[in-house]
Structure 1
């Protein structure tokens, strides 16, 4: 790729946010583009925040469409089946129901240190991704006394 093409793609990505399937998507967290364009460098957390913006909190797959800003279409549909207690065939969705539980995390951010309990989730990672997606600054997660999940 030529230098002018690099600068053009980076500026295009800055002007109009690309989707995850576009080649310009990688320009969002690139350190060469701003340098070549003479723009100030963005901190690395910007790229992480952009990646979390399109990651399903439950399955951690990249999805261009997140329902409620948290789950991909597949996880949303499986969650609805679990909430209803039956799938489209009328039988209980055993795999997901067996995995859903309450999860606890200790969160340290601009609001201080607090314990967060969310559910039903499949793991603590789902809670961490959901909280990190909406964080306004540096956020740290830890294990609460007694473990990550309640039985």
Structure 2
């Protein structure tokens, strides 16, 4: 278990491997972001994307899954305060393989029980940056301040 005291600014990690499917793209979009370039391959062909692409919110959700499974599950996290600088850098398409990279960019005291850790998060799709954001994550302290 990693606590606030165990984390260092500049620490990096690469993890995950997630294959995106067209069925998953359309299922997510039909429920949460029903725009034609997310739900209809034929209609998507006539858009600037030239084909089916995942919703940015879906990309963020897949990123979160990889973070939880490969990074946060081993941390004494207490949730997050949000994200800063969320950007969708390139569309995610069916067949893309997602990988997540993290870097701790800042740590600060929060309260007697927790510290706030700013984590730069990048999701790559087939080696190209698809999403970037800074997560503001609360970590439990091993020892109370």
Larger Rg: 1
User: For the superposition of Structure 1 and Structure 2, which TM-score range results when normalised by the shorter chain?
Assistant: under 0.3
More helix by proportion, 1 or 2?
Answer: 1
Q: Which has the larger share of strand?
A: 2
* TM-score, scaled to structure 2: 0.23
